[in-house]
Structure 1
C-alpha cells in the first residue's frame, strides 16, 4: 500500500451494520478477529454480548447493532469482532465491537467529510464524528470514545472478572 501523501489524509476502517456503512479511525483499531465464541456475563447491559479471551486478556464484546437500536447481530461467515482501544477518562480500555462485516481501509480527505447532522434533542449524535461520502454512499464516521458513556463502561467493567474499572 502506498504511503499517504500528507498529514491531511485520514484512514478509516469501514464496516457494515445492517445495510449501513460505519467507519472508525484506523488509529483506534488494534485488529480484526473472526467471530469466536463469546462467554456471556450475567447482569450486563443488553448490548454487552460477553467476553472473549484475547491472548490471555479478558476483552468485553459489545454488539454495535444493539447499541445503535438495530436487531441483534446474527453470526454469519462475515461476522467479525473489531478490537478497538477507547479512551475513557484518561484510561485506555480495550473492547471488541461486533460487526456484520469489515469492508476496507479507506482514505477520506477532510473535504469528503461533513459534520454530523443536528437532529433535534432526542437523538444523541455526539458520537458521530462526521459523515463521509464515497461515490453515492454515506459513511457514518464514529468517535468510538463517545459511543459508550463512562457509566455504561463502568457498569460493564464492574461486572466482568478480570476487567478493571478506571481509577
Structure 2
C-alpha cells in the first residue's frame, strides 16, 4: 500500500543486519548470565529467564541461523518479542547488538533473497536498504514455528 510506513527494530548478528516489526518488541535487556538452562531443549534455546514474574524462553538467533558463535560483549542484548501479542507467546532473542529503530515505506520493502548456511530461519518477509546497508526483515511468526516444532 502506497504511503504506509512500517517501524522496524534493527539488530546485528556478526556483520549482518536484520530487523523485525517494532510492534512485536516488548523489551530490550542487557545480556546477563542469569539464563536458567532447560534440560533436553534444542541447541538454540539457551534457557529461560524470569522477567517480572513471567518465565520467558531465550533463543540464540546466531545458532538458529547456523552462524558462528560470538563472544558476549557489552553490546550483546536480549530482545523480548511477542509476535502474537500475548504474554504467553513472548520469547527472548539474543543478538550481538541492537542498532536502531527506523521507519520504512512499505513500498520500499524488497523481496528477500537471503541465503544462510542451512539454518532454521528460512522465512524472511523482505529486505530494505537503510543508510546504504541491506537489512533483512525476519518473519517472527516463522521463528515461533521453528521454536515450537521438533522439540
Q: Assess same fold via TM > 0.5.
A: yes
CA displacement at 1:127 relative to structure 2: 2.0
Shift of 1:86: 2.4
Q: Is the 8 A contact 1:32 1:82 kept in 2?
A: yes
Q: Does 1:116 align with 2:74?
A: no
Larger Rg: 1
Using the size of structure 1 for normalisation, the TM-score is 0.77
Contact 2:62 2:68 in 1 (8 A): yes
Provide TM-score, normalisation by structure 2. Answer: 0.85
User: How far apart are the structure 2 equivalents of 1:49 and 1:30?
Assistant: 19
2:67 counterpart of 1:65: no
Aligned residues: 147
Describe the superposition over 1:4-56 as per-residue Cα deviations: whole angstroms up to 9, x where unpaired.
xx971110000000100000101111110111221111110010001111011
Which blocks of at least 5 consecutive residues in structure 2 are unaligned?
A: none
Per-residue deviation at 1:92? 5.4
Does 2:81 align with 1:84? yes
Q: What do you get for the CA RMSD once the two structures are aligned?
A: 2.7
Unaligned runs of at least 5 residues, structure 1: 1-5, 157-167
Q: Does 1:145 align with 2:146?
A: no
Equivalent residue number for residue 107 of structure 1: 103
